[in-house]
Every structure is written in C-alpha cells, then in structure tokens.
C-alpha cells in the first residue's frame, strides 16, 4: 500500500500552482478506488481509470477532456463486459448517421433553405416518402432501444453492487438514471464537452463508483477517511 503515498507525492505539477494538477492528483483516495476496480474486475479497467485521471491532470488542453472521456467510456463498457451483461446495440450515434446519409439523398440538388418555403409547395415524392417511412422505422427502433439500454445499465449495476437489488425501487431507478447520464456524457466528451461540467461529472462518477465498490464495512465517510489515512501512512 506504500505505493499510494509515493504516487500522491510524485504527481506532476501538484506543487507548481497548476489547477489541473492540484485537482487531479492520483492520491491515496484515488489509489484506493483504483485498487477496488482492479480487485472487482481486472487490471485493464484500472488502467483506463488511471489514464482518464492522468489526462485531466497532464493532458494537452485541446484533447484532455476527449481523451479522458474516451478512457471512461471504455471503463464503463469494460464494467458491463466484466459483469457479463449483453450490450444494447445501435444507439443515438447510429440513428444520426442514418439521418445524415438518408437526408443527403433527399436534399441533393435542392435549393438552399429559404425559411419554411423550401418544402411548402413540394408534394411527398418517392425520395421524401422513403425518408419519412425510414424515419418512422428508426423512431420505432429507438423506442425499443432506449428501454433496452436502461435494462443494460440496471443489470450492470445489479452485478456490480450487491446491495443494489435490495434498494427501494425509486433508489434503483435513480441510480440507473445517473449511470445512463455518465454513459451519455462520456460518449459525448469524445466530440465536445464543457470542461468545467465534465470535470465535475468525473468527480461525481468517482464518488458513485466508491459507493458501489468500497466494502460495506467502510460505508461511512469517517471510516473511509480513516482507511485513506492508514494507506497514506503506509499501514
């Protein structure tokens, strides 16, 4: 456990006044969380977590959020796989890719949009009719997929946290909703994200994982802090 102390002391930039370094040291508290991830799953997922934190601490300003988001997305998907939960395929990315491709077919050679007048005199022809029929099918598919993704998150949490199944239904629903928010945010971060909002979300995610992974004997905050102090002291 002494390695946790050395990591915290040697984290680059902590003493230089760098806000990112001060906020994202790989200190004893994060080392404990990393250890729990590895013990519960495998070393590869622990590496995703460490790299996500390292990128926030040391990464280039133009890519640190995207890299961290990608690592955390891989961590979430790795947790699902490790819990042997089947993935609900074909999310929003697939939907919007379809919309873009099919809409381009409909609008080829049409004039630049002029307010509402672009389609005001247009009959529903073969191309537009085909697009609308396809859009209807996609809406139906997404209406099935979204509940399926929620079930996926629920199954992952149930296997990750032994206390999940015994929690009240409202609590379970809230936890599944939060997990889904993490998933959506980490997926979006690879494209664009507000840095302040993203970093706050990552801290919430860390706390969420601690609640799922730290043994129940350490559930009270005072007990967790005592455990961290003993780790830092090398005990």
Average pLDDT for 68-91: 85
- pLDDT, one tens digit per residue, over 115-132 is 555 555 555 566 666 666
Give the CA count within 13 Å in the CB-facing half-sphere of 205. Answer: 25
- pLDDT, one tens digit per residue, over 131-178 is 666 665 655 555 444 546 788 888 899 999 988 888 898 999 899 989
Report d(CA 68, CA 51) in Å as an integer.
7
Q: Which of 194, 165, 158 is nearest to 179 (CA)?
A: 158
User: What would you measure as the largest C-alpha separation in the chain, in angstroms?
Assistant: 78
Confidence of residue 193 (pLDDT cuts 50, 70, 90): confident
Judge whether residue 7 has pLDDT over 60: no
Residue 37, both tokens: 């991830």
Query: What pTM was computed for the model?
Result: 0.64
Q: Which of 63, 68, 24 is nearest to 185 (CA)?
A: 68
pLDDT of residue 68: 96
């Amino acid at each position: 456990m002494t390695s946790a102390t050395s990591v915290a002391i040697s984290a680059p930039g902590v003493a230089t006044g760098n806000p990112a370094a001060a906020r994202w040291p790989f200190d004893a508290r994060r080392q404990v969380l990393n250890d729990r991830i590895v013990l519960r799953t495998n070393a590869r997922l622990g590496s995703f977590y460490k790299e996500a934190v390292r990128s926030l601490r040391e990464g280039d300003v133009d890519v640190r959020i995207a890299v961290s988001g990608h690592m955390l997305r891989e961590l979430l998907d790795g947790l699902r796989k490790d819990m042997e939960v089947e993935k609900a395929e074909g999310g929003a990315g697939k939907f919007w890719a379809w919309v873009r491709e099919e809409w381009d077919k409909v609008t080829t050679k049409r004039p630049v949009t002029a307010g509402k007048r672009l389609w005001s005199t247009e009959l529903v022809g073969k191309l537009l009719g085909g697009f609308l029929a396809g859009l209807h099918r996609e809406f139906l598919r997404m209406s099935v997929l979204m509940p399926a993704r929620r079930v996926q998150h629920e199954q992952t949490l149930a296997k990750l946290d032994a206390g999940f199944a015994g929690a009240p239904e409202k609590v379970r629903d809230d936890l599944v909703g939060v997990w889904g928010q993490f998933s959506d945010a980490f997926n979006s971060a690879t494209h664009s994200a507000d840095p302040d909002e993203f970093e706050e979300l990552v801290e919430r995610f860390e706390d969420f994982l601690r609640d799922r992974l730290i043994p129940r004997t350490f559930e009270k905050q005072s007990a967790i802090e005592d455990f961290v102090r003993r780790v830092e002291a090398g005990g």
